[in-house]
Amino acid sequence: MNEKRELLELFKDVALRVDKRALPHVTRESKISELGIDSLSVMQIVGELETELDILIPDEDLVEIVTVGDLCDRVAERLRKDQ
């Protein structure tokens, strides 16, 4: 499994824990605003990802995130920077 696929699956797992519903059809191209996840839950998802992966995604980076793939890319960037 490659990193992009792993991060997508991790997003789905964390979103399930935070938002209490499965998102089986989410792809990297899915717009977060169209998933029915409110902004508070999005912040909780980001926080869970940060805790689980021991990274910090700056707030200014979050403004640019539109799709699930954008978020996964930001997470991947932080993982590479923190190595």
> What integer pLDDT is reported at residue 3 of this predicted model?
85
pLDDT of residue 81: 87
Amino acid at 61: D
CB atoms inside a 10 Å sphere around CB 72? 22
CA distance 32 to 29: 9
Interacting residues of 83 by C-beta distance below 8 A, sequence separation 6+:
none
Residue 24, pLDDT score: 86
Spans in the chain with pLDDT lower than 50? none
Q: Which pLDDT does position 27 carry in this prediction?
A: 96
Which of 52, 19, 34, 63 is closest to 71 using CA atoms? 63
